Amino acid sequence: MRVLKVDLAVIGFGKGGKTLVGALAKAGRRVVLIEQSDEMYGGTCINIACVPTKALVYQSEHPDRRVGEAAWFEQAAAKKTALVEAMRAKNFEMFDSPETSTVITGRARFAGPHTLLVTAGADELEVHAETIVINTGSAPVVPPIPGVAGSRVLTSTGMLALTERPDELVVLGGGYVGVEFASMHAAFGARVTLIQRGDQLLPGEDPDMAAEVRVLLTDAGVRVVTGATVERVEDAGAGGAVVTYRTGSGETATASGDVVLAALGRRPVTDGLGLAEAGIKVGARGEVVVDEHLRTSLPHVFAIGDVNGGPQFTYISLDDYRIVLDQLTGSGTRSVSDRRHVPHVVFTTPPLARVGMTEAEARATGRPLKIAVRRVAEMAAVPRAKIVGDARGVMKAIVDAETDEVLGVSMLAHDAHETVNTLAVALRLGATASVLRDGIYTHPSMTEAFNDLFANLG
């Protein structure tokens, strides 16, 4: 068996791990990046999540009027695939070309505290590393619903591999993934039914904002069913699949589709890594347990990205990289507690973005509040939305009435995925509601909506 000794071994090609590999390789450290599949070079985001999904969302917003909706989807899928393949190849080149960096394709498991056994078919390689980083990400949850493992039921990964648009789609789950796919496929002309167990879509958001998203989906032609429990999925042969569910009132109903998307959450990927044998603690959800510096129960082993059970965002994985790099080459003081005002986005059309607290979270603090809720179409001094032809949506700001501190902002609006970043930076720097209200912004832009929004607090 071949033996390789390195300074750093990273298991998984995700954002944080590959960036750490790049930084330490540039500094002259001997590093290896271990990825089990040659179709995952670059990580989940590039191959089966953010990039392909948002590429399809963008294409759905820019129809090719020269062809029908089904052909338009096929064109969009081909463009998405070309983009992913190009980025995948570039990632392999970036991290396998440096003299001190090597990409190893194979499955890794711990054979000791500092030792990984990597297998690829009959080939085996033993890697001894001073530092090891677990960066294996997360995978879609497939719940134990009868029939959900059938051929007509796909996870988000399978949906992104489709080259032909389903005429009818049933989405199980009203979280971020389910809502994005429902919105996108409705825009491509599919007949979509979305079934959500709870009474509210996007349960992490304020009920009024979630209700606005529901209206958005309904107006796009999506049939939204909430408060429903899926009982089984049955394969109907060439006719697709039939989902049987029980409504909140106890009635039995069905929904049919060519394809069923199971968008019911994601779980950390730790199976087969040999963590228990190595003495690395794992939590109840399968996540690798880490401290505020992302160290596991073995101080030379870190876990970054989705696998450590934190927020499942690529940009959080990138910040995990900064924390680990600081541990290995810096002062060692940076930690997860340094993160403040981290924004997030649901890529509906228009997108829903939020930074800071929901109204419920703000009220739970006991602080006196001022709240502004403004419909985009009624913001007379914000013509940008009308210029681009999409004045749908609403903005909501929550402010401490005594200190003028901005506690949270939600925006369902054109370009919300960009303007939320401006807000996040402003909040990290301590900008008050008055500062944002009186700010000078370019015109016409969506950012100048802050003038209107923060002038209507009450």
Q: Classify 232 as helix, strand or coil.
A: strand
Angle, helix 69-96 to helix 50-61, in steps of 10 degrees: 150
Could you tell me the two tokens for 250? 């106890």
Does residue 132 contact residue 302 with C-beta atoms inside 8 Å? yes
Q: What are the φ/ψ torsions at residue 315 (nearest 5 degrees)?
A: -70, -20
H-helix or E-strand containing 243?
A: strand 241-246
> Active site includes 185?
no
Are 152 and 241 a contacting pair, CB within 8 Å? yes
Instruction: Dig out the tokens for 451 from the structure.
Output: 């003038």
Closest CA to 19 of 110, 128, 133, 122: 133
No. of helices (H) and no. of strands (E), the chain: 14, 22
Of 140, 144, 167, the closest CA to residue 154 belongs to: 140
Residues, the chain: 458
* Cα-to-chain-centroid distance, residue 343: 12
Cβ pair 76, 188 in contact under 8 A? yes
Contacts of 208 (CB under 8 A, 6+ apart): 359, 373, 396
Q: Whole-angstrom distance between the N-terminal and C-terminal Cα of the chain?
A: 71
Q: Which of 62, 185, 417, 443 is catalytic?
A: 443
Distances (CA, A) of 55 to 33, 61, 383, 390: 27, 10, 27, 20
Q: Which two structure tokens, joined as six digits, stand for 13?
A: 């090609």
Bridge partners of 195? 172, 225
Q: Which of 5, 10, 84 is nearest to 320 (CA)?
A: 10
Active site residues: 443
